[in-house]
Amino acid sequence: MKKKIIRDKLILFIPIFGLLAISLLNMYLVGQNQSMYQNYLVKQALWFGLGLGELIIFYIIKPKIVFKYAKYLYFINVLLLILVLFWGKTINGSKAWFDFYFFSFQPSELMKFTLALYLSSFLAKTKKKGMKQEFKVILKALFITLIPSLLVFLEPDTGAIIIYFAILMGMILVYKINFKWYIILIIILIVFIGGFGYLYYFKQDLLIDLIGTSFFYRVDRILTFVNNDSFQLNRALISIGMADFFKGNGGVYIPEAPTDFIVALSISNLGIISFVLMIICFFVLDFYFLVKLFKINNKQYKLFMAGFLAMFIFAQIQNIGMNLGILPIIGLPLPFVSYGGTNTLVYFMFLGVLINLDYKKY
């Protein structure tokens, strides 16, 4: 039994430490090549250290205690999202950070964790009794997701909003609602996209009045990504094209490389082999969590795992896709690899809870 537990934890932690090693190596190399990033290695190592400590704390705490206070954690986080709109620091056009002397804190990142906790707790306590009851459940779950989404919309932070709805959709799939609701949701989505597309192409002035200039610019950047007119993307594609399999190109300058364009940065520094290793690590982790999802019987924990897995896989696909120029740039970091304090700590929070959800124990 002990051997099985050790093997299970090795399957989880070997790819995670592999991703952390790739991240730290890139932070070191980018600091050598570009002096403006010289502090990234120290800061990233500090975040990883704090994250591991945080993981241990959440592992020691029983999951039922964490979920017991899910509602309160969610509303505290909502309050933080309100406060950051008044006293937050604006970076790259988004007023999303509390800036302290030694570090910055982003409430929209923490909301990924508290939203997953609260949604899973809410859905686990509801009972399905026909289409009418399911409608109420979906409406309430949507309302819980919309509150932080609207607040983050005001910052604005497009990537976080999409992640919130990815968490919701992951849980709805596991919740197993009537198939008719999936058809209805698809129809609503098509109508929404059609209406938004009409305003974007034929009534841009009205759309700008509705969503604001800053958010319109972000949407415009997403919808026109196929033109490859982004300086960031062009630099990223150049750096990838110049790299060999086992050797980089010495580090081509890419704006925001340690965060959004970490894949291109890694290929530029270490060669295509680093990207292959990342893909292998993520594949092992995705498979590990997917297997665990099907083995967990506790409804609440199963929903929480589903929300995390939807968020985790979407972040991988989106970040890698935008680095390769096949998906729009929406500013989503790559889990455990991209530079960032709050994002790193949030993923370690998830890990601390998830490794506690042993399917035999619960």
For 130-153, the DSSP string reads: SHHHHHHHHHHHHHHHHHHHHHHH
Sign of CA dihedral 311, 63, 119, 292: positive
**236-274: string of b/e by CB count within 10 Å (b at 16+)?**
bbbbbeebeeeebbebbebebbbbbbbbbbbbbbbbbbb
Instruction: Count other C-beta atoms under 10 Å from residue 10's C-beta.
Output: 10
The whole-number pLDDT of residue 257 equals 78
In this structure, what token pair is assigned to residue 99? 């800036």
The whole-number pLDDT of residue 252 equals 66
CA dist 346 and 323 (Å) reads 23
Residues in the chain: 362
Instruction: Count other C-beta atoms under 10 Å from residue 29's C-beta.
Output: 20
Q: What are the pLDDT tens digits along the chain (362 aa)?
A: 566 666 777 788 899 999 999 999 988 887 665 554 557 888 889 999 999 999 999 888 888 889 999 999 999 999 999 999 888 787 767 778 787 776 778 899 999 999 999 999 999 888 766 677 778 888 899 999 999 999 998 887 888 899 999 999 999 988 877 777 778 878 888 888 788 777 877 777 877 777 767 666 666 666 655 444 567 777 778 888 887 888 777 666 777 778 888 998 888 888 899 999 999 999 999 999 999 898 888 889 999 999 999 999 999 999 999 888 888 888 789 999 998 888 999 999 999 998 887 644 54
Q: Any idea what DSSP says for residue 326?
A: S
pTM: 0.87
The whole-number pLDDT of residue 245 equals 84
